[in-house]
Structure 1
Amino acid sequence: MEPTRIQISDSDAVACVEKTVSDNVLTPKLLLDCSCFLGEGIQWNADRARLYWTDIFRRSLWSCDENGDDATRQDLPTDLCAFAFADNGLILAAFTDGLYWFDEQTGKRTLIKAYDPNRTNTRMNDGGLDRQGRFIVGGMDENGMSPITPVWSASPSGIKMLIKDIGCSNSTAFSPDGTTMYFADSARPEILQFDYDPETGIAQNKRLFAKLRDGSGIPDGSTVDAEGGLWNAQFGGSCVQRYLPDGTPDIHVALPVSNPACCCIGGKSMNRLFISTATANMSGAELAAQPGAGGIYATNIPVQGLTQGIYKT
């Protein structure tokens, strides 16, 4: 399928910012109509000035520029769930069955560690870098989100278990100073936070950060802005919700599709929110009513983002 590119104009961006200031609601525009089954892991690579994301079960890695132009789709050998760019020119890739080094030029995968190899119903899922460049990545139980999967912390010194007994890892993100870790087990409609030690990479003192409103779906991917606000994609809830550092709901991003899956902040000015979405779990009637489902959405926001970072080998 050839994706449709839809550019956001400067006037659209200004209008969105003005609307946010006036009533705390944003309505993003469709940036790229790529019909992902499960668009996840979206991130802005500042060095390349490109947006990247994965369509997990269609085994593809997508990218485009900040306006949705020059879109590319790379076929993958298997399902890619989360990833981070590394300083050795490779991608640290959480495929469903384990953590690999992945060479996007040749397609070669080199296994680092298999994920939960004794269970056939679990796979890797959400992940992201902490402020020191460790890759924090967890998994999920695909048969009911039973609390049986681990969350790993991967660094050049090895892989260690950070959290255990999770049903579906999501919302992995870190405060600007790196001392707070945000996390969600999507089996429950709540976002948690931990005290996080940047030196040791240990997470402790788990507590409730925010509870999703009724009808807001489940917590999926998150990103943190330069002011410490957490933006959370709420799968099934047609929205991305920003929370202030104390957990108070702030800016609400209302989408015309049901399943926002992940979000990031990027663009040349680092003030554009990008949102990946999914067609998973949608009926034929729902797909017909939501023609932009599975696409990438974007809007400018009145706060700055933080760079994604890089995995340091």
Structure 2
Amino acid sequence: MTEQVPTSVLSAEHCHLGEGPTYDVTTDTAWWFDIREGRLYEAHLGRGDIRVHALGRMASALGRIDAERQLIVAEDGLYIRALADGAMTLYRPLEADNPGTRSNDARVHQSGTFWIGTMGLKAEAGAGAIYALHRGKISTLFPGVSIPNSICFSPDGAIGYFADTARHVLYRVPLNPATGLPRGEPEVLVRHTGVGGLDGSVVDADGLIWNARWGGACVDVYSPEGERLRSLAVPARQSSCPAFVGPDLSRLLVTSAWQDMDAAARAADPQAGCTFILEAAARGRAEPDVKLE
């Protein structure tokens, strides 16, 4: 059964492909992207202010470097973005020589290592990969991924999770907690069946995995053993990625999208692409900063 929890609309702007939410607890600010339109959204939750920044390229995720800088994951590389004026400086190219791919899901490990997924522009089979930015160097972790999603980590940093949405599989892989790098091979944790597909995920303080189910209008909560414990309703069918927000990290921000929906489908799903806040009573965790060197 899908739970109905108190839900509000944070942003009524309809993102083409809303993705990559994160939250800076030090400033009470949530960030997310419209990948297809090259936009970065900034929302101060306490004040209710929302700003939209045009990036000039497709981008999908960010990590906080420090109080003045962010690392933006974009279609052709990683960019350092200055908060003061939005200036972007290329830090490392990533698949810049392949115009057929773009960035997708990404998240920072507790060690400061940044896992980054790429995929084909038309989700071509095996066209993407998952990389790690560790101490300034990018290495390939898992090649041949079609739609990388659900990159997240256990509270102790010893387990990494990722999904290939096209394969309907959520994997777990043992990690070195000090580096965020694999020390074993991925194993299947969840093999999704039924409506929708595995999209973005985040792990709470108890190790539970909160997964936005694309096409399922919900966020599913899984145990570390892969058992589905809860499903929370989202008022848009293509829910895409969650993030814990609020001073106590108990609320859940969820992005959504209208991508690939025709006029009839959008009329039937009037909040497609909006960004929501669910009163989830979660025990969330703050996102770590990314370390460049």
2:181 & 2:271 partners in 1: Cα distance?
Answer: 40
Aligned residue for 2:76?
97
Aligned residue for 1:277?
256
Aligned residue for 1:206?
186
Quote how far apart the aligned CAs of 1:211 are: 2.1
Note the 1:164-203 alignment, pairs <5 A. 164-203=143-182
1:65 & 1:107 partners in 2: Cα distance?
Answer: 16
The residue type equivalent to 1:213 in the other structure is T
TM-score norm. by structure 2 comes to 0.93
In structure 2, relative to structure 1, the CA distance for the partners of 1:244 and 1:280 (3 Å cut) is same
2:88 & 2:288 partners in 1: Cα distance?
Answer: 22
In structure 2, relative to structure 1, the CA distance for the partners of 1:64 and 1:109 (3 Å cut) is closer
Quote how far apart the aligned CAs of 1:189 are: 1.2
Pick from 227, 232, 239 the counterpart of residue 211 of structure 2: 232
1:310 & 1:29 partners in 2: Cα distance?
Answer: 28
Structure (1 or 2) with the greater helix fraction: 1
TM-score norm. by structure 1 comes to 0.87
Aligned residue for 2:41?
62
% identity of equivalent residues = 28
The C-alpha deviation readout for 1:121-171, integer Å capped at 9, x for no partner, is 111111000011111101002234321333211133422222222112111
Quote how far apart the aligned CAs of 1:307 are: 0.3
SS of structure 2 residue aligned to 1:58: coil
Note if contact 1:26-1:251 (Cα within 8 Å) is conserved in structure 2.
no
Supply the RMSD in Å over aligned alpha carbons.
Answer: 1.8
2:281 & 2:251 partners in 1: Cα distance?
Answer: 9
Pick from 234, 239, 260 the counterpart of residue 239 of structure 2: 260
SS of structure 2 residue aligned to 1:26: coil
Pick from 25, 29, 34 the counterpart of residue 3 of structure 2: 25
The residue type equivalent to 1:231 in the other structure is W
Aligned residue for 1:245?
224
Quote how far apart the aligned CAs of 1:68 are: 8.0
Note the 1:120-199 alignment, pairs <5 A. 120-199=99-178
Note if contact 2:20-2:61 (Cα within 8 Å) is conserved in structure 1.
yes
Between stretches 31-40 and 84-93, larger displacement belongs to: 84-93
The residue type equivalent to 1:51 in the other structure is A
Pick from 4, 16, 19 the counterpart of residue 37 of structure 1: 16
Pick from 263, 274, 281 the counterpart of residue 302 of structure 1: 281
Pick from 283, 286, 289 the counterpart of residue 268 of structure 2: 289
The C-alpha deviation readout for 1:216-254, integer Å capped at 9, x for no partner, is x12111100111100011111211100011111011012
Note if contact 1:137-1:153 (Cα within 8 Å) is conserved in structure 2.
yes
Quote how far apart the aligned CAs of 1:178 are: 0.5
1:124 & 1:29 partners in 2: Cα distance?
Answer: 29
- Structure 1 unmatched ranges of 5 or more: 1-22
The residue type equivalent to 1:63 in the other structure is E
SS of structure 2 residue aligned to 1:269: coil
SS of structure 2 residue aligned to 1:232: strand
SS of structure 1 residue aligned to 2:36: helix
Quote how far apart the aligned CAs of 1:88 are: 6.5
The residue type equivalent to 2:35 in the other structure is I
The residue type equivalent to 2:185 in the other structure is N
1:66 & 1:211 partners in 2: Cα distance?
Answer: 35
2:2 & 2:154 partners in 1: Cα distance?
Answer: 22
The C-alpha deviation readout for 1:57-108, integer Å capped at 9, x for no partner, is 2221112233681111112121111111102722111111111212243333
2:27 & 2:128 partners in 1: Cα distance?
Answer: 34
